[in-house]
Amino acid sequence: MIDRFGRVATDLRVSLTDRCNLRCTYCMPADGLEWMPRADMLTDDEVGRLVRIAVERLGVTNIRFTGGEPTLRKGFTEIIARAAALAPRPRLSMTTNAIGLESRADGLAAAGLDRINVSLDTLRPDRFAALTRRDRLPDVLAGLAAAQAAGLTPVKVNSVLVRGQNDDEAVPLLRFCLDRGYRLRFIEQMPLDAQHGWNRAEMITAAEILAALRAEFDLTPSPSPRGAAPAERWLVDGGPGEVGVIASVTRPFCGDCDRTRLTADGQVRNCLFSQTETDLRGLLRAGADDDEIAERWRVAMWGKLAGHAINEAGFAQPLRPMSAIGG
Ligand code: SAM
Ligand code: SF4
């Protein structure tokens, strides 16, 4: 799936639900959102078919399941198992808040999940409760440990720093991850919250994060190639420990993007920030064959724009929030 700028999409993000058991302030309002009607959501079989088409016909080699909270999807383990049975076997990962993972990590690994990214923004229970509006930090820590024990490695941790809330935790979060062998990546806050409350001046930038880390650690650029990975990586105190920063806003990496996205209601998005979507659910339910679906998906990717334009005048936030796109 090539686009007109020569980028080839091999990395598929599949959102399995827009629902979530947390309410992170930078993602969702306290009352949640109006969830997608069940009838609009792809069934497990429909997800399985689209994933198969992506792998067998469109050259997708990596699949990440996300949401909302992907572990809330009932058929999740079976969806993983089906994807793992495809040839060529795609690499399978998921992004999760890790709630409930403690009891499920072994089963997911057995089904074929290879790796995991866990979102964790603070190590302080009171702040966790304020940032996510749920008092669940112990569940997340237990989920992380279970993922490591189950071999869902390397376990990566994603952290968003929010000014005045957890922006003094860059160093403690890195120490926590280094001690346990987790790979930490900080993510700049993006204008993708459902409340449209993002404010550039409030965002903690990559430069600020690096300055805070450099006060405590010696950071040198990682020698391993970045490729299409969104994170810029640094060796910490000479390695082998590393830290990454995903500077989507201040250092965009759109020129190397290899992503294609499928929402839980069967829409292809060629970018997180896209203003348009391509409906595969309607095509699928109208009886289209695999060739037709693959062709529609290819056309959707061909139309991908050069970049997200967050830093340009006239930028408009997409209608869907991150939780309904699949972060
Ligand atoms: N619920 C799962 C989780 O939190 O890991 C998966 C979905 S969540 C939308 C995926 C990632 O997006 C999380 O790491 C979260 O911190 C991040 N995220 C959510 N809203 C964001 C925003 N406005 N800017 C940057 N990252 C955001
Ligand atoms: Fe849920 Fe993830 Fe959004 Fe937090 S960031 S509210 S865990 S979807």
Q: Give SS3 for 106.
A: helix
Residue 252 pLDDT: 81
Atom index in ligand 1 nearest the CA of residue 26 equals 23
Mutate which of 322, 323, 325 for ligand 1? The one with the most ligand atoms within 8 Å of its CB, which is 322
In the block, residue with structure tokens 């590393």: 242
Rounded to whole angstroms, how far apart are CA atoms 43 and 270?
22
- DSSP letters along 195-232, please? T----GGGBPPHHHHHHHHHTTS-EEE-SS--TT-S-E
3-state helix, strand, coil in the chain (%, to 5): 35, 15, 50
How far apart are alpha carbons 318 and 267 in whole angstroms? 14
Angle between helix axes 137-149 and 101-111 (nearest 10 degrees) is 30
- Tokens 């987790």 identify what position? 182
Please tell me the CATH superfamily of domain 11-325, with its number: Aldolase class I (3.20.20.70)
Token duo for residue 193? 């919250």
Inter-residue contact 302 to 10 (CB < 8 Å): no
Q: Which-ligand-closest: CA of 95?
A: 1
Identify the nearest ligand to the CA of 273 by its number.
Answer: 1
The CB density around residue 111, as the number of other CB atoms within 10 Å, is 19
Instruction: Find the 27 Cα to ligand 1 centroid distance in Å.
Output: 7
Task: Output the CA 215–ligand 1 centroid distance in Å.
Answer: 27
pLDDT tens across the length of the chain (327 residues):
999 999 999 999 999 999 999 999 999 999 888 899 999 999 999 999 999 999 999 999 999 999 999 999 999 999 999 999 999 999 999 999 999 999 999 999 999 999 999 999 999 999 999 999 999 999 999 999 999 999 999 999 999 999 999 999 999 999 999 999 999 999 999 888 878 888 888 899 999 999 999 999 999 999 887 777 788 999 999 989 999 999 888 888 788 889 999 999 999 999 988 888 999 999 999 999 999 999 999 999 999 888 887 777 778 788 878 888 887
Residue 37 confidence (pLDDT): 94
Q: What is the pLDDT of residue 326?
A: 82
Coil/strand/helix, residue 52? helix
Q: Residue 67 Cα, ligand 2 centroid: separation in angstroms?
A: 8
Map out the domains of the chain as residue ranges. 11-325
Q: According to the model, what pLDDT value does residue 321 have?
A: 80
Separation of CA 258 and ligand 1 centre (Å): 19
Q: Euclidean distance between the first and final Cα of the chain, in Å?
A: 21
- Helices 76-84 and 101-111 pack at an angle, to 10 degrees, of 30
Report which ligand 2 atom has the smallest distance to the Cα of 323: 8
pTM (predicted TM-score): 0.95
Q: Name the residue of 119, 134, 200, 249 to mutate for ligand 1: max ligand atoms within 8 A of Cβ.
A: 119
Nearest-10 crossing angle of helices 290-302, 44-58 = 70
